């Protein structure tokens, strides 16, 4: 499996460039794209600075009105074709995702499969009814219709770069918005170039989608740009807070999909082999670099030791290495800085009395699957999103305590409850102050049909996916029609 198979992606088109109306060079220059597993340079792309963003936003605005007037059936056809192209070119695209983001093969496959599903879902949005006939207080026809915002700025992270970019881009396009997209500079190909290419080949009119890789400066330029009406941001709470501050000041609609510290509550009646498997999947998938990762395993005190033992056995048998040259469970974490950040949180926990039962070590960017037991409030491992392969186990005495430990978190993205008594698990689910709860499953669940997101530091009250898309990516326009104009008192 390699990245030299270039039939579809066609490196010559985009190497050293960004997508404006066409593939062109950027004022800010060129940026190398590196493989986190080996440090090797795998490609280069045009990097965008503020002037490139301004250019992309102006071009997107020029293209948007015609796109909004394109028949919904045609918009749906182009989206469906883009989904087909993603799936048809799966074997060429998967190695790029593995190379660029340190993904193992199954995770890269999920990105292609879910990415296509998000686009197909968006295609159905284009042909939904888009308004209401509303009561009138006089003799007129009054209706309200959902209309696109105009240009939507999409800012996405490195961890699931394809899915987390395309879920915003496709929904925005479906309703007739144009998009300026800024993928994370560490994953501009999976998060940007691949998406640009499928829409280009699917026949999306030039200018409707602009893809400009760049860093925080480019993102902040999007937040102030007068041609951009909405920002759809997926990333950290810190980045999201800055985006909200700047974009809010410039009167833009802001959608924030941020981090999580997600509890998996394991009750005393759970099957412990299954609970251990769920815990391992939730904590270690993609090296724990997932917003919905199981950040805290809360186990009833009567079963916590037995569950811990099973999880340690699993963690001790998880090979880490370059996913393209070995069959591994864990690939590299994204950067040396991230390795240091993980280690600091593990060290803090151990210094404050947590038991390190597996891992806690690394070689280069390969961080070993780690298990910390006796994790308590006051430890960074209890409170902070780690974004590394670290399972943090804490215990509780009563179901009420499990609920309050979950609800006391700064975050509120997802939770899971595992029990053989579904009614009991559901009673707990109802009490959890989070955006998404999975009964008898771990915390990593997503997809195009459900409203995704959560409160507090996980977002700003917006959701993405399913019924939320029309709320987020369109706005109301009220039109009233008198059959003839009538006079007023003066």
Residues engaged in binding ligand NAD (CB under 6 A): 155-159, 164, 182, 184, 215-216, 219-220, 234-236, 239, 242-243, 257-260, 291, 385, 387
Q: How far is the CB of 448 from ligand NAD (least distance, A)?
A: 13
Q: How far is the CB of 51 from ligand NAD (least distance, A)?
A: 16
Q: How far is the CB of 103 from ligand NAD (least distance, A)?
A: 14
Q: Do the Cβ atoms of 236 and 413 come closer than 8 Å?
A: no
Q: Which of 200, 291, 384, 472 is catalytic?
A: 291
Q: Which is nearer to ligand NAD, 47 or 267 (by Cβ)?
A: 47
Q: How far is the CB of 236 from ligand NAD (least distance, A)?
A: 3
Q: Do the Cβ atoms of 242 and 165 come closer than 8 Å?
A: no
Q: Which is nearer to ligand NAD, 122 or 267 (by Cβ)?
A: 122
Q: Which of 261, 260, 269 minimizes the C-alpha distance to 418? A: 269
Question: Active site includes 139?
Answer: no
16 vs 193: CA distance, rounded Å: 11
Q: Which is nearer to ligand NAD, 245 or 305 (by Cβ)?
A: 245
Q: Which of 277, 262, 349, 263 minimizes the C-alpha distance to 307? A: 277
Q: How far is the CB of 373 from ligand NAD (least distance, A)?
A: 24
Q: Which is nearer to ligand NAD, 156 or 406 (by Cβ)?
A: 156
Q: Which is nearer to ligand NAD, 26 or 308 (by Cβ)?
A: 26
Q: Do the Cβ atoms of 162 and 115 come closer than 8 Å?
A: yes
**Angle, alpha carbons 147-233-39 (nearest 5°):** 140
Q: Do the Cβ atoms of 331 and 323 come closer than 8 Å?
A: yes
Question: By beta-carbon distance, which residue lies closest to ligand NAD?
Answer: 219
Q: Which is nearer to ligand NAD, 235 or 282 (by Cβ)?
A: 235
Q: Which two tokens stand for residue 151?
A: 């240009």
Q: Which of 201, 241, 153 minimizes the C-alpha distance to 459? A: 241
Concatenating the DSSP letter of every residue in 160-221 gives SHHHHHHHHHHHHHHTT-EEEEE--TTSTIIIIIHHHHHHHHHTPPTTSEEE----HHHHHH
Q: Name the percent of the chain in helix, strand, coil, to the closest 5.
A: 40, 20, 40
Phi, psi of 322 (to 5 degrees): -70, 115
Q: Which two tokens stand for residue 159?
A: 């961890």
Q: How far is the CB of 117 from ligand NAD (least distance, A)?
A: 16
Question: Active site includes 392?
Answer: no
Q: Which of 59, 100, 111, 257 is catalytic?
A: 257
Report, as residue numbers or ranges, the catalytic residues. Answer: 257, 291
């Amino acid at each position: 499996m390699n990245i030299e198979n270039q039939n579809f992606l066609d490196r010559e088109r985009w190497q050293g460039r960004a997508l404006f109306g066409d593939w062109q060079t950027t004022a800010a220059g060129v940026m190398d794209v590196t493989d986190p597993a080996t440090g090797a340079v795998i490609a280069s792309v045009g990097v965008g600075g503020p002037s490139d963003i301004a250019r992309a936003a102006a071009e997107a605005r020029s293209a948007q009105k015609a796109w909004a007037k394109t028949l919904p059936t045609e918009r749906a056809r182009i989206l469906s074709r883009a989904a087909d192209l993603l799936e048809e070119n799966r074997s060429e695209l998967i190695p790029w995702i593995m190379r660029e983001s340190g993904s193992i093969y199954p995770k890269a496959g999920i990105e292609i499969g879910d990415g296509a599903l998000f686009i197909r879902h968006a295609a159905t949005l284009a042909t939904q009814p888009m308004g209401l006939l509303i009561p009138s207080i006089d003799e007129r026809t009054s209706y309200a219709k959902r209309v696109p915002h105009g240009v939507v700025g999409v800012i996405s992270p490195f961890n699931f770069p394809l899915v987390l970019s395309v879920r915003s881009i496709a929904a925005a396009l479906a309703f007739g918005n144009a998009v300026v997209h800024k993928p994370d500079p560490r994953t501009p190909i999976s998060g940007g170039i691949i998406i640009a290419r499928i829409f280009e080949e699917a026949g999306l009119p030039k200018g409707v989608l602009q893809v400009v890789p760049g860093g925080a400066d480019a993102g902040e330029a999007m937040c102030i740009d007068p041609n951009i009406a909405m920002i759809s941001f997926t990333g950290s709470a810190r980045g999201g807070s800055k985006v909200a501050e700047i974009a809010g000041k410039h009167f833009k609609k802001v959608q924030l999909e941020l981090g999580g510290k997600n509890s998996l509550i394991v009750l005393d009646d759970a099957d412990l082999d299954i609970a251990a498997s769920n815990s391992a999947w939730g904590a270690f998938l993609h090296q724990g670099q997932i917003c919905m990762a199981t950040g805290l395993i809360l186990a009833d005190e009567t079963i916590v030791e037995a569950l811990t033992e099973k999880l340690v056995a699993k963690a001790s048998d998880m090979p880490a290495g370059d996913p393209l040259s070995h069959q591994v469970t864990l690939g590299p974490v994204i950067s040396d800085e991230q390795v240091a950040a993980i280690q600091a949180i593990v060290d803090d926990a151990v210094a404050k009395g947590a038991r390190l039962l597996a891992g806690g070590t690394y070689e280069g960017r390969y961080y070993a699957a780690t298990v910390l037991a006796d994790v308590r409030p006051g430890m960074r491992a209890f409170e902070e999103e780690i974004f590394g392969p670290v399972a943090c186990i804490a215990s509780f005495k009563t179901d009420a305590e499990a609920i309050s430990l979950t609800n006391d978190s700064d975050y509120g993205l997802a939770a899971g409850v595992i029990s053989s008594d579904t009614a009991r698990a559901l009673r707990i689910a109802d009490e959890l102050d989070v955006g998404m709860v999975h009964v008898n499953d771990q915390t990593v669940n997503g997809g195009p049909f459900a409203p995704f997101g959560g409160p507090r530091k996980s977002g700003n009250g917006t959701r993405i996916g399913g019924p939320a898309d029309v709320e987020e990516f369109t706005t109301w326009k009220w039109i009233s029609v008198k059959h003839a104009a009538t006079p007023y008192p003066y």
